[in-house]
A and B are shown apart, each in its own frame.
Chain A
């Protein structure tokens, strides 16, 4: 995946996240599309893309969310790096393993985020472990759907290209 596509993916995630927030649709439901994008890109492109996308996406989200810029950035950087490293070591194939990766990444992200607030001695944002688990499940489902749609589109484009090549070579009957 080239740089333009990565930039496009993270931009789309941010815009959709802002759109969800401004429409009050599922507001507070815990969908974190930036996290979903970071995990999806890290799974497909490795730790370098993961950590860079995590840093940029996280900081943009911090700036929009009113928190301290960098806290969400650090947590998403670490998530991008860990998931990217995992994808280099293991082949994550199938919906259930991918769901587990999204689920774990979402929970880790929440723990990093809260941990950094604790570490810095800042006023803690409201949270509960039930809510974190709920957010992780939601992000897991959204992540799996996201990856499935992307894979479906990629397959379709590939098939179209193959047909086009075949027609050019042999013509139509």
Chain B
């Protein structure tokens, strides 16, 4: 029998080997979402929901203590109404712009009906390494992998990993590993947006710009131009606002160096909308024959 107090090295080796086996199971898995990750996230997300619920109750109780119960309730209701109206305005604006440009060329439906589900943000990043958040809606509400997540101010991100029953993880568009198809609204110049490579400030992790890549040096792009989704990746609905161009510089090779400031304040997200249906195939074009 090995005395672990004398042979600490054996214990260390055992623990490390077990964890390496655990990692290898996840990395080599052929399915999209590793089972172990889905199961543990499902279990632990319940704790997060419980904790978030407890904290919300505590916060609500505190804010409503000094005879402000009605005001606080009205405030919450009005904020939700404003948020939903802002999304509707954006949706209609996108619809009108698209109709104007294509009305003469194509016979398109005049209505775009986005089926969405409102979700509460229940947790932010648990580690400083990934820019993700957890929402309080999951597989039980019909949330699926890769579902687009939007907010009144613009695009937030997409659902990553297999959703748990009552929660799902959302990768923000500012994550370095995220990519989103976008275009300059004024000129229709397309590009790919993703998070910046580094983490320039240790204390303002979520107020980062996006890089817009693959925009030719010859294209007409100006500071202040609106950048909207192009739906080329088949995840995000077309015409939704991503941000404004903050900096443009001619690149050394073929492409310009463009920075886009997202319109969504990722530090102050309370509620988001999850788009339940992916964009229709027609919206991002059929392959040419």
Contact = CB atoms under 8 A, between A and B. Distances in A.
Interface of A: 15, 17-19, 21-24, 26-30, 32, 47-48, 51-52, 55, 59-74, 77-78, 81, 85, 113, 120, 122-128, 130-131, 133-135, 138
A64 B23 contact: no
Interface string B27-60: 1000000001100110010011001100100000
Contacts of A135: 128, 202
A29 B203 contact: yes
A74 B40 contact: no
Contacts of A81: 8, 12
Contacts of B278: none
B108 interface: no
A59 to B, nearest CB: 7
Contact of B197 (A74, A126, A133): A126
A51 B8 CA distance: 9
A32 B128 contact: yes
Contact of A21 (B11, B125, B200): B125
Interface of B: 4-5, 8, 11-12, 15-16, 19-20, 22-23, 26-27, 36-37, 40-41, 44, 47-48, 51-52, 55, 122-132, 160-161, 169, 175-177, 195-206, 267-268
Contacts of B122: 22
Nearest to B127: A65
A18 B48 contact: yes
Nearest to B36: A69
Contacts, number: 163
Given A81-B12, A130-B200, A30 B128 contact: yes
Contact of A24 (B40, B127, B268): B268
A85 B11 CA distance: 13
B127 A72 contact: yes
A21 B20 contact: no
Nearest to B270: A24
26 contacts: A18-B47, A18-B48, A18-B123, A19-B51, A21-B124, A23-B55, A28-B203, A30-B203, A32-B127, A48-B8, A48-B11, A64-B41, A64-B44, A64-B123, A65-B129, A66-B41, A66-B169, A69-B36, A70-B23, A77-B19, A123-B177, A126-B130, A126-B195, A127-B199, A131-B198, A135-B202
Contacts of A55: 15, 19
Contacts of B195: 126
Nearest to B207: A28
A120 B19 CA distance: 13
A66 B132 contact: yes
B19 A64 contact: no
Contacts of B15: 51-52, 55, 77
A24 B160 CA distance: 20
